[in-house]
Structure 1
Amino acid sequence: MYIYNTEVNSELKELFSDFLSIYSSYDEIREVAPSFDNFSSLKEELIDTWNIFNLDKEKIIDLIKGICPEFYIENSDLFSKSVAVRESAQDTYIKEHSILKCNDWDEFVTEITTNIRFNIDLFNKSIFKDVLAAFEEIMDVEVTPHYFRGRIVDKLSYKIDEMGAPPKEQSGNGRANPKGIPCLYLASSEKTCAMEIRAGLHDKITIGEFALEKEIKIINLINIDKISPFSINNVRAHYVNKKYLKRMSAELSKTLGNNSSDLEYLPTQYIADFIKSLGYDGIKFKSTLDPKGHNLAIFNLGSFDCKYVTPYKVENFDVSIGIF
């Protein structure tokens, strides 16, 4: 176990001083943006916005004092008054650094579903590209666990070669792919898999177990709220875009009914297509049906291979499954 002695060690001093300097006190913000009203305490920001410390909020300030005492002395207002990131109160900065040019997710959805679809220009693509870099994840063959894909069947079982992504002529609309462009959707467990395909009581399903065949690079949108500010190139830009990133993750995870309109897929398809155009091999996102699970949308279809198939039968509505 490594113990950081604030009286001896100094490695964190510059990191925290640079990071904390993105904040300004209530009085400073109100001087430049009198109507701005989105303030909180610094300790709440560190816990609720950045998830930096697993500590009681009341102990955080004492820890900061120990890590960077000079910064604490020189910026006492940040620790005694409400704070905000100055750039989040500046319309010019938001316009130049927001992922969405319109600065409104619902307006983006309306535009892409009812007005301009293929040449929509509501994303600041260079900003989005830079922000996405914080969520890059390398999936390595040696350490990546197996993933699962399920299919409801009316026969005994599907075969291994029938468990991959559907061919392009049978590929329908999905969260991360438009009709005609195949995408391999995988789940982190058999249970998550069964829940995601919305199997009903007494349904027979085949679940294929997939192994990663080669190293791939994906965008991981699962832990948006837990991304370290110390791993981000532009913390201020990330801060003003955090609400959009959370919304994207939620939209990718959202369950759509069988009768949902294809239009409902358009916003996430646009985002996924842009991520794919940057050379990423897939996206990782939460499962709303199984809070303990997550999903992959894999663009690089040859990166995973089905190794085994197992037939199951849904035995109750809690999606408890048993081999038959």
Structure 2
Amino acid sequence: MKVCPNCFSDTEIKGLISTSEEKGNCNICNSKDVHLLDIKELYDFFEELLENFQIVEDGEPLRSKIQSNWSFFASRGTATEILNSVLFEISSEIISSDDLVDYTSEIKENYNHWEIIKEELKWSKRFFINTAQLEDLGWDGFFNTQYELKSKDLLFRARVHHMSGLPAISTSDMLCPPKNKASGGRANPLGIPYLYLSDSKETTLYEVRAAYLDELSVGTFKLKGGIEDLRIVDFTEDTSLFQPTMVKDTIKARLLREKISIDLSKPMRRYDSEIEYIPTQFICEFIKVQTGADGIRFRSSLDTKGKNIVLFDQNKIECTKVTLSKITSLKLKAIDL
């Protein structure tokens, strides 16, 4: 069996197959005049991949599990054909793409440890958490998915005015509050201010929960002159599964980041306790120390198209202008509970 780039959605494996010198028609996805690679060349990768799954009674079909978590193949049909062909040739307890599977206990214990850490930080061990255990689990290497914030990139931050008719807030006042006035947030502890920004003006309006007819100051930010880029740990990136010799760590890291990302994005409700912030404050501190990154990026739960960026040091960025804005329309949606 030979496969082509169009059999897959994963960018890394598509790139590998595209380097093949052989070209022709693909019998799997019916693509014409494409690069072809004998599936035998991928047996080692698939064997390594399948070692991370175990058969369980209440599991999910293997093809569905891989597709729902990773979108690895171009389609479920393609996944079925390729997996069944590979499973016939390699050594695995799984013999069919229909077999019900889940991740191995080792992988589940790794990402589920986040729930244990959350409870410890909130209710039993706040300042003497066992970080050595996290390093043993490999967490110190799981936050290397980073992107570079460039000098050309613009970011935004909004502040709602407490009354109408006020002028726009000055550029200097759009930065973090002073340490003695910095309250705890989703990423920063009390007294340690981080700068919360969004990648669009629309997203930052949602993030400050602006109401109808509210007047706001919206600041535009960019890196200070002389700073070419900042390294940001990215909780929004879809990591490629095709990482030969590193598949297990790739799965562990991706699943852990996804669980943490949910908590980073979760909006705080009026009746929530600030204790709920502590686990994400901890993981941001862990990232800052372990990776040396300048901040984090995560998805906005209030604006599904937007992303938020938190910078650990505001001195690397500046507010270049502030625009006075007013909310003229608002759309709310409720669901029955």
TM range (shorter): 0.7 to 0.9
Provide the rounded CA distance (Å) in 1 between the counterparts of 2:245 and 2:187. Answer: 27
Question: Counterpart in 2 of 1:235?
Answer: 247
User: Residues 13 and 195 from structure 1, CA distance in 2 versus in 1: closer, same or farther, beyond 3 angstroms?
Assistant: farther
Change (3 A) 1:11 1:205: farther
Kindly indicate which of the two structures has a greater share of residues assigned to helix.
1
Range moving further from structure 2, 288-297 or 227-236: 227-236
Paired residue for 1:149?
A: 157
Distance in 1 (CA, whole Å) between partners of 2:169 and 2:322 is 8
Aligned equivalents of 1:221 and 1:25: distance in 2? 22
Q: Are positions 1:89 and 2:104 aligned together? A: yes
- Residue 248 of structure 1 and its aligned partner are, at CA, apart by 0.7
* Aligned counterpart in structure 2 of residue 128 of structure 1, from 118, 135, 139: 139
The answer to whether the aligner puts 1:218 opposite 2:232 as a matched pair is: yes
1:227 to partner: Cα distance = 1.3
CA RMSD of aligned residues (A): 3.1
Alignment of 1:79-228 (within 5 A): 79-82=96-99, 84=101, 88-90=103-105, 98=110, 103-121=112-130, 124-126=134-136, 127-133=138-144, 135-142=145-152, 145-153=153-161, 154=163, 155-213=166-224, 214=227, 215-223=229-237, 226-228=238-240
Shift in CA distance, 317/78, structure 1 to aligned 2, threshold 3 Å = same
Return 6-15 or 265-274, whichever deviates more. 6-15
Aligned to 1:74: 89
Question: Quick check: 76-85 or 271-280, which moved more?
Answer: 76-85
The answer as to whether partners of 1:136 and 1:218 remain within 8 angstroms in 2 is yes
1:111 offset after TM fit, Å? 1.7
User: For the residues of structure 2 that align with 1:184 and 1:11, how far apart are their CA atoms?
Assistant: 50
| 2:40 maps to 1:40 | no
The answer as to 2:69 corresponding to 1:60 is: no
> Bigger CA drift: 289-298 or 44-53?
44-53
2:300 to 287, 292, 304: 287
* 8 Å CA contact 1:25, 1:78 repeated in 2: no
Alignment CA distance shift 1:19-1:147 (3 Å) = farther
Distance (Å, rounded) in 2 between the aligned partners of 1:90 and 1:16:
24
- The worse-fitting range, judged by mean Cα deviation, of 272-281 and 115-124 is 115-124
Is 1:139–1:216's contact at 8 Å kept on the other side of the alignment?
A: yes
Deviations 1:262-284 (A, max 9, x none): 21100100001101112111010
> Please, which runs of 5 or more residues in structure 1 have no aligned partner?
31-35, 320-324
Q: Distance in 1 between matches of 2:253 and 2:189?
A: 26
* Structure 2 segments unaligned to the other structure (5+ residues): 7-17, 27-34, 333-337
Whether the 8 Å contact between 1:23 and 1:78 is mirrored in structure 2 is no
In 1, Cα distance between equivalents of 2:179 and 2:44: 52
Asked whether the 8 Å contact 1:23–1:83 carries over to 2, the reply is no
- Change in CA separation of 1:79 and 1:141 when aligned onto 2, cut-off 3 Å: farther
Q: Conserved in 1, the CA contact under 8 Å of 2:88 and 2:95? A: no
Change beyond 3 A, Cα 1:43–1:238:
same
Between the aligned partners of 1:150 and 1:291, the Cα distance in structure 2 is: 18
Equivalent residue pairs, number:
293
Distance 1:107 1:73 in 2: 39
- 1:223-243 CA distance string (max 9 Å, x none): 3xx311125863224435654
Identity %: 26
Deviation at 1:204, TM superposition (A): 1.0
Q: CA deviation at 1:140?
A: 2.7
Asked if 1:21 is matched to 2:48, the reply is: yes
Contact 1:184 1:298 in 2 (8 A): yes
Note if contact 2:160-2:210 (Cα within 8 Å) is conserved in structure 1: yes
Q: Which amino acid aligns with 1:124?
A: L
Which string of whole-angstrom CA distances, capped at 9 and with x for unpartnered residues, describes residues 171-205 of structure 1?
Answer: 11111100111101001111110110112222110
Partner of 1:151, secondary structure, is: strand
Read off the aligned partner of 2:310 and give its amino acid letter: A
Alpha-carbon distance in 1 for matches of 2:105, 2:117: 21
Which of 254, 265, 290 is the matching residue for 1:253?
A: 265
Could you tell me how far apart the structure 1 residues matched to 2:169 and 2:43 are?
A: 54
Contact 2:177 2:193 in 1 (8 A): yes
Q: Distance in 1 between matches of 2:114 and 2:80?
A: 35
Shift of 1:81: 4.3
Question: Any conservation in 2 of the 1:24–1:78 contact (CA below 8 Å)?
Answer: no
CA distance in 1 between partners of 2:167 and 2:244 (Å): 50
Give the structure-2-normalised TM-score: 0.75
Letter in 1 for 2:260: M
